[in-house]
Amino acid sequence: MIKEFLKEHGDYRDDRSFKDLTTIKMGGEIAHYVEPYNIDDLKQIIGFLKRYHVPFKTIGNGSNLICGSSRYEGVVISLKHFDNYEFDNDICYVEAGVMVPYLVQVMLKNGLKDLEFASGIPGTVGGLIYMNAGAYKKEMSDIVKEVIVLKDDEIVKMTNEELKFKYRYSIFQEHPRWLIIAAYLKLEKGDMEETKAIILDRANRRKQSQPIEMPSAGSCFRNPENDFAWKLIDGIGYRGKKINDIEVSTKHSNFIINTANGTGEDYLKLALDIQEKVYKKYNIKLIMEVEKFNC
C-alpha cells in the first residue's frame, strides 16, 4: 500500500541506502525512498504517512548527516524536485532542493553577492537554513528574509525573527516535522569579478586546509565560544586517530572522514571519545554539528 501511494506522488525507489544519499557515504538500506513532484504531492505524502503512523525522514544533499548501519523501515523524502528559483532585483526566491554552490553561480550571473561564504558547502538551501550554516563569519541568518514552511499541514511564511537563528541553530531543529519548502534571500548588488576572486581564493584555501577529497559530513563539532574545535582535538592528540575505517583527518582535525567502509556507529564512538577527552582536559563540552539519524 505504501509503495503504490508513493509512486502516485513522486519518483519512487526501494533500493536506496543512506550510503548513496550522504556525503560521508555510509548508512543502512532504506525501505522506501521518494522524490515528491511538487508541494501538493508532498502534502499528500506527509498526510498519508502521518495517518498510518509511518516514520519518515526528509533530507537534502545529506552533507551533514550521520546514519546508522541498520535498515530504516520508514520513508525517506527528498526534495530534489524543489529546484526552482527566480530573482527580483536583489531578492532571490529559491526552493529548498537547490544546491547552494549552484545558486552561488547563478547569483554571480545576476550581479549579486553575499552568498559567496557558502560557495564551498555541498548542501541544499533547505539544509543550510536548517543548520544556519556559515563560514568566514557569515551565516544564512544574515541573508534569509522569509522562509516558506509546511507547518502542521499548512503552508505558512515565517520571518527571519521567527526562525530564532543562533550559531548553527534554527527553530527547525526543535520541530523536525516543519519542512522548509522555499526561502526569500536578501542579497546585494556587487562587482562580479571581485566576488569571483573571493570565491576562488576561498576554494583554494579549503583545498589546502580541508580533506575535501575524502567522504565526510563536514565539521563534526561546533566551535566553542572564543576557541576552535580543531585546536582542542589537536590538544588531546587525536589528529589521525582512527576507529576501523573512521578517522580524524590529518589535514583538519574537526573533520572525521570515511577512509573506506566506515559506519555511523564507529563515527559516533569516535566523536563521543573526543567529547569525553576534551571535557576531561579542558572542561569544555564540544557540541556535535552533524545530525545523527537511525543510530
Known catalytic residue: 51? no
How many Å apart are CA 15 and CA 30, to the nearest integer?
7
Name the active-site residue from 168, 170, 216, 247.
Answer: 168
Mean pLDDT along residues 140-163: 97
Q: Is residue 199 part of a domain?
A: no
Q: Is residue 204 part of a domain?
A: no
Mean pLDDT along residues 212-232: 96
- The least confident of 67-76, 188-197, 207-216 is 188-197
Q: Give percent of the chain with pLDDT exceeding 70.
A: 100
Q: Is residue 203 part of a domain?
A: no
Q: Is residue 89 part of a domain?
A: yes
Q: Are residues 160 and 256 in the same domain?
A: no
Q: Are residues 20 and 73 in the same domain?
A: yes
How many Å apart are CA 107 and CA 190, to the nearest integer?
10
Q: Are residues 72 and 89 in the same domain?
A: no
Please give the backbone phi and psi of residue 241, each rounded to the nearest 5 degrees, phi first. -60, 140
Q: Are residues 56 and 132 in the same domain?
A: no
Name the active-site residue from 119, 219, 249, 253.
Answer: 219
Q: Are residues 29 and 107 in the same domain?
A: no
pLDDT beyond 90 at 270 = yes
Q: Is residue 200 part of a domain?
A: no
Last residue of a domain, one of 193, 228, 244: 193
pLDDT beyond 90 at 94 = yes
Q: What pLDDT shows up at residue 249?
A: 98
Known catalytic residue: 168? yes
pLDDT confidence bin for 68, thresholds 50/70/90:
very high
pLDDT beyond 90 at 70 = yes
Q: What pLDDT shows up at residue 152?
A: 87
Alpha-carbon Rg of the chain, whole angstroms?
A: 19
Q: Are residues 94 and 189 in the same domain?
A: yes
| Structure confidence by residue, pLDDT tens digits, 31-59 | 999 999 999 999 999 999 999 999 999 99
pLDDT beyond 90 at 89 = yes
Q: Is residue 205 part of a domain?
A: no
pLDDT confidence bin for 81, thresholds 50/70/90:
very high
- Domain count of the chain? 3
Mean pLDDT along residues 182-197: 94
| Contact yes or no for 172/130 (Cβ under 8 A) | yes
pLDDT confidence bin for 196, thresholds 50/70/90:
very high
Q: Is residue 201 part of a domain?
A: no
Q: Is residue 206 part of a domain?
A: no
Last residue of a domain, one of 42, 58, 78: 78
Last residue of a domain, one of 161, 193, 225: 193
How many Å apart are CA 184 and CA 146, to the nearest integer?
5
pLDDT confidence bin for 15, thresholds 50/70/90:
very high
How many Å apart are CA 27 and CA 268, to the nearest integer?
12
pLDDT beyond 90 at 295 = no
Q: What pLDDT shows up at residue 65?
A: 97
Q: Are residues 89 and 73 in the same domain?
A: no
Q: Which domain holds residue 257?
A: 211-293
pLDDT beyond 90 at 116 = yes
Q: Are residues 100 and 72 in the same domain?
A: no
Known catalytic residue: 289? yes
pLDDT confidence bin for 242, thresholds 50/70/90:
very high
